[in-house]
């Protein structure tokens, strides 16, 4: 049985980090999740389609984040990037 789980906790974390000025990449399973988060956030928060049970989806999300990062920015720079999985699938 497949169960779709929308994480209110992940959504709230992504919103809060965005409000605090962090650059956030939020992985969303559904288009609805991407739209809900994207329309109520600043330009620092970017949504990316992500199904954590699909290796191609993970590779695509990784490439999206990699391509979107400005040169010299990342987890160990003075401009931290936060990645939050907002929605996930549990099988």
pLDDT in tens, 28-62: 888 888 888 888 889 988 898 988 889 999 899 98
Query: How sure is the predictor about 8, in pLDDT bands with cuts at 50, 70 and 90?
Result: confident
How many other β-carbons are positioned within 10 Å of the β-carbon of residue 60? 15
Q: Is residue 91 over pLDDT 80?
A: no
How many other β-carbons are positioned within 10 Å of the β-carbon of residue 70? 10
For tokens 């401009």, the residue is 79
**Looking at 43-47, 51-55, 80-84, 86-90, which range is the least confident one?**
86-90
The per-residue pLDDT for 56 is 95
Helix segments in the chain, DSSP class H: 8-19, 31-38, 55-68
For tokens 């990645």, the residue is 83
């Amino acid at each position: 049985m497949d169960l779709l789980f929308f994480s209110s906790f992940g959504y709230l974390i992504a919103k809060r980090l965005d409000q605090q000025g962090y650059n956030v990449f939020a992985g969303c399973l559904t288009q609805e999740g991407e739209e809900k988060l994207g329309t109520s956030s600043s330009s620092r928060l970017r949504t990316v389609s992500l199904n954590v049970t699909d290796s191609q989806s993970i590779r695509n999300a990784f490439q999206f984040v990699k391509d979107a990062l400005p040169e010299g920015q990342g987890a160990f720079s003075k401009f931290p990037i936060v990645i939050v999985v907002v929605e996930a699938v549990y099988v």
